[in-house]
Amino acid sequence: MGFLLLFLLALVVSSIGFRKFVWFISLGYGFSIAALGVALLVSFGPAANPVSLLMCLLLVAYGLRLGVYLLLRERRSAAYNKVMATQANDGSGLSRPVQALVWATVALMYVCQVSPVLFRLQARAGFDALTVVGAAVMLVGIVLESAADLQKSAQKRLDPRRFCDKGLFSFVRCPNYLGELLCWTGVFVSGVTALHGPWQWLAAIAGYLAIAYVMFGGARRLEIRQNKNYGDDPEYQAYVRRVPIILPFVPLYSVERYEWLKG
């Protein structure tokens, strides 16, 4: 199973975005990562070392959890659908060639994200300290992201009109995005000792930087929406001055002014 075949698989799965444009980067994202993890398991599983096997399983778990969560949220949450209808690009103004370019770009990004695992499996590399650390960081990221989504849902059920500031949200304002960053940091770190040649390094670094950009862009989009909804609330103003937006213990409290973040 090579890079090109994984790219073709990601294209097939993420093609659901032609039915609804936002699915290129939501359902298509989650289920593409799960499919790539399954493909790696099928292709390399019998010969993989335990940590590499764990990384493949974590990719599957990550993708399925995210895809199912997004699917259920879209079907159950009227508020979420209202937000997406007004603030997400529905692709209606884009030509088919432009949509196809987006499709190919995101599919390539997904494969680049998982490429450190692919390259380690292809090299039949053994596991070392960085691989173990990477797997641990990835697992922490998945758990953190899952917990943040559950906490947000619980807080919104109690008070749909209030911003979330309890639990993990008392440490960072976007703990789900932090979990995402940790997950892919773990994937990148796990493959560092197995990467060979400029193209493998380019793919791995590009995938990591791309998802980091998307997460900070998502944090900016959320901040703009929250400022619009809660900007007149003194409690919210105190909250955003006290709690970093995405990285704990890093005094970055706002990314709204960074217009180049378009995630």
Report pLDDT digits (tens) over 112-140: 999 999 999 998 888 788 999 999 999 99
* Token duo for residue 174: 């976007």
**163 domain-assigned:** yes
Question: What's the longest Cα–Cα distance across the chain?
Answer: 58
**74 domain-assigned:** yes
* Token duo for residue 43: 């292709």
**13 domain-assigned:** yes
**124 domain-assigned:** yes
Whole-number percent of the chain with pLDDT over 70 = 93
pLDDT in tens, 154-196: 998 899 889 999 999 999 999 999 999 999 999 999 999 999 9
Q: Residue 80's domain spans which residues? A: 3-242
**247 domain-assigned:** no
Task: Give the residue-averaged pLDDT of 51-72.
Answer: 92
Q: Is residue 92's pLDDT more than 80?
A: no
Using alpha carbons only, give the angle 64, 68, 71 rounded to the nearest 5 degrees.
Answer: 145
The per-residue pLDDT for 261 is: 86
Query: Into how many domains does the chain fold?
Result: 1
**101 domain-assigned:** yes
- Phi/psi for 16 (5° steps) reads -60, -15
Q: What's the rounded Cα separation, in Å, for the pair 226 and 247?
A: 18
8 Å CB contact between 33 and 113: yes
The per-residue pLDDT for 104 is: 96
**189 domain-assigned:** yes
Q: Is residue 86's pLDDT more than 80?
A: no
The per-residue pLDDT for 230 is: 93
pTM: 0.91
Other residues' Cβ atoms within 10 Å of the Cβ of residue 203:
21
**251 domain-assigned:** no
Q: Which of 40, 55, 51 is nearest to 3 (CA)?
A: 40
The per-residue pLDDT for 49 is: 84
